[in-house]
Structure 1
Amino acid sequence: MNAVPPDARPATAAALHGRVVLVVGAHGGLGRAAALACARAGARLVLLGRRVPKLNRVHDAIVQGGGEATLYPLDLEGASADDYAELAARIEAEFGRLDGLLHCAAWFRGLTPLEHTEPAAFARALHVNLTARWWLTQACLPLLRRAADSAVVFVIDDPDATRQAYWGGYGIAQSGQQALVPMLHAELAATPVRISGLQPGPMRTALRAQISAEGDRGQARDPGDYADACVHLLSAEGAAQRGRIWCPAP
């Protein structure tokens, strides 16, 4: 992991002008805040999530602010590699391009001893938080390669915390992404596709609320405090963090 100064400056209104950005988990805490920030920065958004009413609310907020967004309802748990290939094909058909992919979707049932974790819950945590992220990224790479400058951003939880007891499949998936970011960066270093990770601090989200034994409740920040960091990594300025996992101050 690399903590890379300086911290991102506030996103400008043109930082993502002309770019098409796919936000995965767009109705979650950080996903929603990031989608709104990307729209303010000029991006055209594809909003992916499994809860249509919540996606609709994000879409409406973007449109009311003068932005442009398309909904793509999809449940990462049940989606296959073919489903992701169809998603990439639809983005190409509608927009003709893809410039950014932001992975915010996550699934976490709560702190549980591995010994007592249901096998299905363990598999779901690994799949939604790691395997599905890679399958979707893999399907989008041909489109991302065609852009002059594109970015894939994986939002990753603090490995020092999630490697501790009781984090189960979710914690293992975070460690997997810690390995995925530099590996994929090395493989794509000669292409226009930038790979990076974003490690925000504790946030007041539904996922964080599942943690019954934590000491950072008073330190947790609003997800909106990290929205500009998402824009920064997706924009041309994010090249400074290429191949790194960035831990910005809120």
Structure 2
Amino acid sequence: MFALPSAAPQPLAGRVVLLSGAHGGLGAAAAQACAAAGATLVLLGRRLPRLNRVYDAVAQAGHEPLLYPLDLEGASPDDYAELADRLHAELGRLDGVLHCAAEFRGLTPLEHLDPAAFARAIHVNLTAPWWLLQACLPLLRQSADASVVLAVDDPARVGQAYWGGYGIAQHGLRAMVGMLANELAATTVRVAGLQPGPMRTPLRARAYADDLGEDLRDPEAYAGACVTLLSPAGAAWRGQVWDAAAGGVE
């Protein structure tokens, strides 16, 4: 007698996950993986046509997602508070935040960087993610097992010359992982970082015109790590940054 094949496991079944940067390279790949894992997704991004394309792919992979167009550069704390209120009103819960949004416009010496461009990079890559999380924390605290996952870049790489405000903000974002995790240690909200390896994305192409590195991967290679960190299994990485390319933690 042959057993029928079992359904694919869904470690995110019943969970509501807010995904920022949903139409970027890692964001779009993670959205499909999270949908296939059973999550109900809220897709946040600034470009509605691209969000719509991700929406179609996610709807085919799992539950129909919600779209939330928002530009992190111009959004105020009140805009994030409104987002949290709408999530509570329409979905009644929030079990995870996966932050994949990033802004990088090319390598430039700090000395010659336009002051407004520097401020924009710091804001979009560091201040805005915190405003988003701060607004969502009261709703996350209501979940029995909530997960905050921040995608971070390799500090050894972006700490080198010419990475400007993006590189500085990435170091701050990494520091936020440990600080916030410690502050929330006694709660049901856990915080972790995800450092994917080099990926074929438009953001990376702005730094490397001809990128043929042997370690270069498509974003889909790291989508499974996003699912793991958002799922109950992600508790093993609480307060840590998972170096998904190397397989270790920091």
2:177 corresponds to: 181
1:5 corresponds to: none
Q: Are 2:24 and 1:37 aligned?
A: no
2:192 corresponds to: 196
Matches within 5 A, 1:68-107: 68-107=64-103
Amino acid at match of 1:236: P
Contact 2:20 2:100 (C-alpha < 8 Å) held by counterparts: yes
Matches within 5 A, 1:50-199: 50-199=46-195
The structure-2 alpha-carbon separation of the partners of 1:123 and 1:17, relative to structure 1 and needing over 3 Å to count, comes to same
Contact 1:181 1:197 (C-alpha < 8 Å) held by counterparts: yes
Contact 1:110 1:212 (C-alpha < 8 Å) held by counterparts: no
Amino acid at match of 1:94: E
Amino acid at match of 1:32: A
The structure-2 alpha-carbon separation of the partners of 1:200 and 1:149, relative to structure 1 and needing over 3 Å to count, comes to same
Contact 1:13 1:40 (C-alpha < 8 Å) held by counterparts: no
**Distance in 2 separating the partners of 1:124 and 1:217:** 30
Q: Max radius of gyration: which structure?
A: 2
1:6 corresponds to: none
**Distance in 2 separating the partners of 1:112 and 1:218:** 26
Amino acid at match of 2:36: R
Contact 1:198 1:246 (C-alpha < 8 Å) held by counterparts: yes
Amino acid at match of 2:110: L
Where does the alignment leave 5 or more consecutive residues of structure 1 unmatched? 1-11
Superimposed CA distance per residue, residues 3-53 of structure 1 (whole angstroms, 9 cap, x where no aligned partner): xxxxxxxxx631000000000000000000001000000000000000000
Amino acid at match of 1:72: Y
The percentage of aligned residue pairs carrying the same residue is 68
Detail structure 1 runs of 4+ shifted over 4 Å in the superposition: 213-216
TM-score (norm 2): 0.93
Deviation at 1:220, TM superposition (A): 1.3
Deviation at 1:156, TM superposition (A): 0.2
2:229 corresponds to: 233
SS at match of 2:141: helix
Where does the alignment leave 5 or more consecutive residues of structure 2 unmatched? 1-7
TM-score (norm 1): 0.93
**Distance in 2 separating the partners of 1:219 and 1:80:** 38
Superimposed CA distance per residue, residues 182-203 of structure 1 (whole angstroms, 9 cap, x where no aligned partner): 1101100000000000001110
**Distance in 1 separating the partners of 2:83 and 2:170:** 25
Amino acid at match of 2:46: R
SS at match of 1:23: strand
Amino acid at match of 1:248: A
Amino acid at match of 2:197: G
Deviation at 1:58, TM superposition (A): 0.6
Deviation at 1:64, TM superposition (A): 2.3
Deviation at 1:222, TM superposition (A): 0.2
CA RMSD of aligned residues (A): 1.4
**Distance in 2 separating the partners of 1:112 and 1:210:** 11
Deviation at 1:179, TM superposition (A): 1.1
Deviation at 1:212, TM superposition (A): 3.5
Higher relative contact order (CA 8 A, sep 6+): 1
